[in-house]
Amino acid sequence: MFVIRVLDSGLVQACPLDVTPLTSYALRIVTKRSGLVDTDEVTMIRLAVVEKQLILHTIELRLDVRSARLLATQTRGVFREEFRPRFRSAQQTHSLFASSPYNKMAEATDATLVLVTGAGGFIATHIVKQLQEEGYRVRGTVRSLEDEERIKKLKELCPDAKHELELVEADLTKPESWEPAVKDVKYVIHVASPFPTQTPKEESELIQPAVEGTQAVLKACVAAKSVKRVVLTSSCAAVGWGPGADTTKTFTEEDWMEPEKLNAYGKSKTLAEKAAWDYVKELPDEDKIELAVINPAYVMGPVINGSMSTSSEVVKRLLEREKPFVAKLNFPVVDVRDVAAAHIKAMTLDDAAGKRHLIVNSNVWMKEMATILSKEFKTQGYNVPTANCPGPILWLTSLFDRTIKMVMPDIGKVYKFDNTRMKDVLQITPHEIKDTLIEMAYSLIEAGLIKKTKKYKGPGGGEQEEDGEKKEEGEGTEGEDKPKENGDVKDEDKNEDDLKKEGKEEEKSEKIEDVKEEKKDGEEEKKEESKQEEKKTEEKSEPKPEETAK
């Protein structure tokens, strides 16, 4: 590596950084008035170019010492012989540059370029935001740049970013679109993958783009020659989550689900991950790249790009009371911000290379989710259902609702995962489940994805804050609201009759509340009518002025 400086006088200075003995180097002067520019030439020598004057044309040459002198003459400068490339040890090279004022300047501005695929997705937007906050240069892929409103939102994810977000078009179904996307990139975080909101008509709709898209991205990474590591977003479904999973065990990164036992989404994630591991394993030594995989559970948390995800649909349906009951579903939940942080840690940590990483916090029943949301939003005009739906009614509903049909095989089942690696290797301390749910709900309301009620007060305006129910630091939460560590799951041992009874009691309670409200409104109307009648009576009984005069 060399730092090349072009002074106002035209002086060209070159200082070697690379520890490999070289007799020539590549120089590129780019048409830009100021700033540092990184470029990779055919020689694979990285250059940091500082420009102090406007160069009106681009010069791109492979230079030996003689050519460097010639270039210096052409730019009205002097080539410093003491900076020319020569055979020297790594220690001598380091010593030569250690005292140079250009060293700190290059380190401060030589930001690493990271590619995030599917940058507009729920998880990917948080990854992009966190990368920008940490000072990385970020390039994101989208399927189309024509959606100006969406592009604008992505560009504004991190207003204080040192480097503006770069967006390029790339599609999982178009292999040729990925080579330009990975050019000059050091790390790739491959998040893009089709995700269903309802059961697809054909499994191939999910499986084909997931598998072939992953292979296309990896091939482009190898061809680029600049990519060091790829972080792939997989799923807990590839480990042990789905109709065929063993609910009696706690799954670890060593476990794999058999694809034929999974639904279409689970198959797509499992087969895509397997394809990635197989591809990297078969690469020749000269083309080797590192692979790390993130296997997140059910991802929830604040939406920052204004678009819906499968998990946000769950919260939306609860707040809008789409149905009077909740399904008896259990979710191994994790906060989207923890998932994003895990990707970035897996991108750089040595211990993460060549490994899978389960990212999960706690197991939560849907009824518990509903209870948390109800406590926060009931006083703000949202009537969240909190009673479990009886099995027969849920089954009947699934005949007409494809979304419910998709989750029917998971009713009543608990899938447990070991998150030791997440905590010990990636050093991720998960968010509280309660905060994850409440912040997700507020983000959906603020984004206009859930309608605001007349009583809506905004973030922090729930009953819990008003009544001072916030717990002291370190104090646990009682009852169903307490998030449980993964694997420590409360068994719901109520039978069908109990659930029906519970549902009827809640419906009865709600009807009583409605009757009370109606009765209250009726009494107020009667009082108002009574006042009006009294007023009219008083007016009639008052003597007229003429009569008083007489």
Which residues carry out catalysis? 269
Strand 113-117 relative to strand 187-190: parallel, antiparallel, unpaired? parallel
Q: Where do the DSSP E strands lie in 234-384? A: 250-251, 290-296, 298-300, 330-335, 356-359, 362-365
Cβ atoms of 77 and 7 within 8 Å: the answer is yes
- DSSP states of 116-140 as a string? EETTTSHHHHHHHHHHHHTT-EEEE
Cα–Cα distance for residue pair 231/48, rounded to 1 Å: 27
HEC string of 311-322? HHHHHHHHHCCC
Short-list 510, 384, 372, CA closest to 450: 384
What lies within 8 Å, CB to CB, of 345 at 6+ separation is 352, 426, 427, 428
What lies within 8 Å, CB to CB, of 96 at 6+ separation is 15, 16, 88
Handedness of CA 334, 337, 339, 345 (dihedral sign): negative
Which tokens sit at 412? 């009543």
What lies within 8 Å, CB to CB, of 381 at 6+ separation is 453, 454, 455, 456
What lies within 8 Å, CB to CB, of 465 at 6+ separation is none
Cβ atoms of 331 and 363 within 8 Å: the answer is yes
Helices 122-133 & 336-348, crossing angle to 10 degrees? 60
Cβ atoms of 100 and 3 within 8 Å: the answer is yes
Which tokens sit at 70? 């010639």
Cβ atoms of 61 and 67 within 8 Å: the answer is yes
Cβ atoms of 198 and 264 within 8 Å: the answer is no
Cβ atoms of 484 and 363 within 8 Å: the answer is yes
Cβ atoms of 52 and 39 within 8 Å: the answer is no
Which tokens sit at 549? 């005069």
277 CB burial (10 A radius; 0-12, 13-18, 19+): middle
Angstrom distances, CA of residue 96 to CA of 25, 50, 90, 279? 17, 19, 10, 42
Cα–Cα distance for residue pair 403/488, rounded to 1 Å: 28
